[in-house]
Amino acid sequence: MKKQNVRTLSLILCMFSYLLVGAAVFDALESESESSRRRILEQKRNEMKKKYRFSEDDYREIERVVLQAEPHRAGRQWKFAGSFYFAITVITTIGYGHAAPGTDAGKIFCMFYAVLGIPLTLVMFQSLGERMNTFVRYLLHKLKQCLGFRRTEVSMENMVLVGFLSCIGTLCVGAAAFSHFEGWTFFHSYYYCFITLTTIGFGDFVALQKKEDLQEKTPYVAFSFMYILVGLTVIGAFLNLVVLRFLTMNTEDERRDAQERPNHTICLSHTLEYEVF
């Protein structure tokens, strides 16, 4: 079977196994805690219903009001600062969902906005990431020269190490900052930064949601936006270094196969033969 097909099939199988294993582990870690929490909450709810004697309809109404009011508790989400925050979550595909367009026009615009914005953002982060890698490579080269190393070339391992440490450093800086400003524990802050910078963006922890932060604490707002964009660049640079080459593997193989077909090898075999190992 062609190499590309084998590779693709194995990747599919890998991913499915990975999903199965993940599901099993999450089930084991979370299921029990979920059931017990649910029981406690339902008990509490029933107590409250009895205490205040809510009718069924009214209770459902209360539920509705509370759920819909939740995003509003964090202040105005759609003034300029909030909209900018939202726009960031769209084009970077983080998508917390702490605020989501309520109007139909908003939803439609959001879709068009994403169609153009997401590829633009992908290309931008990779472009900037590549520039950063080149610059780091240059710095490391100079550093090796200064330190009087015999071999001053920068190897892939050097770059991967520096990239990895930058990522960890970025996450830790963010964790420290957000745990201070948002009052989360360091661990929760770190988890928030990780989930944000991998663009998963659950929305269980979201920055700038304490009362009116978006409107009032402008330096903190600016810091958050900068952090997200710079952090994504650092992660993007690392991905550019390590993962991007794998994204073009099949395409390369196709081209190599195309090249090896007879009518293309006329000129290559003119003077030289090639061996691929």
Partner 1 sequence: MKRQNARTLALIMSILTYLVVGAAVFETLESKQEKSHKRKLDARKYELMRKYNLTKENFEELEHVVLQLNPHKAGLQWKFAGSFYFAITVITTIGYGHAAPSTDSGKVFCMFYALLGIPLTLVMFQSLGERINTFVRYLLHQAKKCLGMRHTEVSMANMVTVGFFSCMSTLCVGAVAFSHSEGWSFLNAFYYCFITLTTIGFGDYVALQKNEALQNDPQYVAFCFVYILTGLTVIGAFLNLVVLRFLTMNTEDERRDAKEKALLSVSKPRGEVAHLLPVSISASSTPVADNTTKAKDFKGVYTEVLQFQTICSCLWYRSEEKEQDSIPNMIPQEMTFSDAYLQQNNDCAHYMEPGSTGCVCSPRQCTSISPISGLHIFSPFRMFKRRSSV
Q: Within positions 229 to 268, which residues make up the interface with partner 1, using CB under 8 A?
A: 239-240, 242-252, 254-256, 258-259, 264, 266-268
Give the residue with the Cβ less far from partner 1, 7 or 217: 7
Q: Minimum CB separation from partner 1 for residue 220, in Å?
A: 17
Q: Is 143 in the site for partner 1 (CB under 8 A)?
A: no
CA distances to 28, 185, 209, 217, 227 from 213, rounded to whole Å, are 38, 19, 6, 5, 16
Q: Is 89 in the site for partner 1 (CB under 8 A)?
A: yes
Q: Out of 3, 74, 80, 158, point to the residue binding partner 1 (CB under 8 A).
A: 80
Q: Minimum CB separation from partner 1 for residue 151, in Å?
A: 9
Q: Out of 11, 143, 161, 168, point to the residue binding partner 1 (CB under 8 A).
A: 11
Residues 6+ apart with CB under 8 A from 274: 268
Total number of residues binding partner 1 (CB under 8 A)?
136
Q: Is 145 in the site for partner 1 (CB under 8 A)?
A: no
DSSP 80: H
Give the residue with the Cβ less far from partner 1, 34 or 212: 34
Q: Minimum CB separation from partner 1 for residue 132, in Å?
A: 9
Q: Out of 3, 20, 143, 160, point to the residue binding partner 1 (CB under 8 A).
A: 20
Half-sphere exposure of 170 (CA within 13 A, CB side): 26
H/E element, 217: none
**Could you report how far apart the first and last alpha carbons of the chain are, in Å?**
18
> What angle in degrees, to the nearest 10, is found between the helix axes of 156-182 and 218-242?
160
Q: What are the structure tokens assigned to 52, written together? A: 């205040």
Q: Is 149 in the site for partner 1 (CB under 8 A)?
A: no
Q: Is 95 in the site for partner 1 (CB under 8 A)?
A: yes
Contact 173, 226 (CB under 8 A): no
Contact 235, 198 (CB under 8 A): yes
Q: Is 74 in the site for partner 1 (CB under 8 A)?
A: no
H/E element, 223: helix 218-242
Give the residue with the Cβ less far from partner 1, 181 or 202: 202
DSSP 234: H
Amino acid at position 19, single letter: L
Q: Minimum CB separation from partner 1 for residue 94, in Å?
A: 8
Residue list 30-49, contact with partner 1 (CB under 8 A) = 30-31, 33-35, 37-38, 41-42, 44-45, 48
Contact 77, 99 (CB under 8 A): yes
Residue list 194-213, contact with partner 1 (CB under 8 A) = 194-195, 198-204
Q: 34-42 contacts: CB < 8 A, separation 24 or more?
A: none
Q: What are the structure tokens assigned to 177, written together? A: 């900052």
Q: Minimum CB separation from partner 1 for residue 177, in Å?
A: 18
Q: Out of 1, 57, 103, 147, point to the residue binding partner 1 (CB under 8 A).
A: 103
Q: Is 179 in the site for partner 1 (CB under 8 A)?
A: no
Q: What are the structure tokens assigned to 48, written together? A: 């409250």
